[in-house]
Structure 1
């Protein structure tokens, strides 16, 4: 038996009871569950943050973007702006834009465009076989009258001559053919058109394609193309004897007054 000087006596060591062992196991399992839940919440939150920060794009796009770093940029030309009357280049603001297109073959009708307005054309239903004429007020740019004159049937040279002569001073006259414009074109009509400056009216043949710009009471600039002709040729024309369409376009200076 030990004396009091040796300290308090200690009882023998006893192993933990079954209940204590079960409590320890439960505590350890609970800690693992809490750890898994917290880790899952953290992973979800990190994923949410990344989803907000990274742009919404497919991985292939992202991979392409990474590969394209360092590559030379590709410059794309802008789409050309449409010009008045489908010109390739714009007319100056102090000029009128025009485009004349004769008929071609059986199904391509003549067209007259002025300042991006279709004056005569299939869409308007005001073109026909023969010579089609539009008269425009040079000062205002407004169309005065449009008429088509059949030169294959009927006597229409007289009415066409009067129509041309009735154009008031300071008028622009645009003339285009569709199909035949020469069979019944008489000498008086040729004289009236020749007086306006035509060089080709007396060379017109059966189904010749012809376009002509004239002015009454003013002088047109010498640099603009005013007339063009293409004759029917069964061997060389694309429409089996019908001449192909021809066109002229340009810019006419406006009235400075």
Structure 2
């Protein structure tokens, strides 16, 4: 009978303790349990910055080999967000640089040195100036020039057979089916012998469009071998 009092206290303490633990778990407030677990397991190493995924030039997840250019191109999103071109951590075209516009956005890069040669955009919707200016821009391109292309809003309404032929010669296949408000990104080169591996295309389809009247933006990234002089 003498033990009844102490036993009652022990039972009450155990009940209160179990209730507190159960309540903490249900409410997600288990910091006390975490501290107990830490005491049992010993100190845990904190993740260091070195364990985080490393990003390389233009945000690529890997480093390009020697004598290669790193690049990333994102097309425009609907008629709201302009395209962006990055090469070796240098932004060639973007809304921030204020050198992009509706239609086809094109950057020409020296395939030997990596130097930016020219940037222009061509309205492929209104009037004939867009396609005429595009042809004047594309015809003089010489062998070894890298051609970066991204759509914004509508890239194809004024497209004609001569322009398609030139893009075919640069390595594009999607140009043959490019249509009204399609999303398209492409990297080609004058003198390429085969289809370019750097091309993405999404058709404008009201049943699958991400935006009202436009498909989602497309993106390509990778490493381009430097042309030997």
TM-score, length basis structure 1: 0.68
1:73 and 2:47 are equivalent in the alignment: no
Superposed CA RMSD: 2.1
Match of 2:57 among 81, 84, 90: 84
Aligned to 2:62, the other structure's residue is in SS state coil
Aligned to 1:228, the other structure's residue is in SS state strand
Match of 2:212 among 222, 233, 240: 240
Q: CA-to-partner distance for each residue in 1:65-90, whole Å, 9 max, x for gaps?
A: xx759615325152333311111222
1:121 CA displacement: 0.7
Match of 1:106 among 70, 76, 79: 79
1:105 CA displacement: 1.9
Match of residue 251 from structure 1: 223
1:163 and 2:148 are equivalent in the alignment: no
Kept in 2: contact 1:158–1:189 (CA 8 A): no
1:18-167 residue pairs with structure 2 within 5 A? 68=39, 71-77=42-48, 78=50, 79-155=52-128, 156-167=130-141
Return 5+ residue gaps in structure 1 as ranges.
1-63
Kept in 2: contact 1:133–1:173 (CA 8 A): yes
Shift in alpha-carbon separation, 1:122–1:254, aligned structure 2, 3 A: same
* Between 241-250 and 224-233, the greater mean CA deviation after superposition: 224-233
- For 1:146 and 1:135, the matched residues in 2 are separated by 6
Q: CA-to-partner distance for each residue in 1:134-156, whole Å, 9 max, x for gaps?
A: 00001110000011000000212
Shift in alpha-carbon separation, 1:94–1:219, aligned structure 2, 3 A: farther
Asked which structure has the greater CA Rg, the reply is 1
1:211 and 2:182 are equivalent in the alignment: no
1:116 CA displacement: 1.0
Return 5+ residue gaps in structure 2 as ranges.
1-34
Match of residue 4 from structure 1: none
- For 2:41 and 2:137, the matched residues in 1 are separated by 70
Runs of 4+ that moved beyond 6 A: none
Shift in alpha-carbon separation, 1:153–1:170, aligned structure 2, 3 A: same
1:162 CA displacement: 2.0
- For 2:193 and 2:112, the matched residues in 1 are separated by 13
Match of residue 44 from structure 1: none
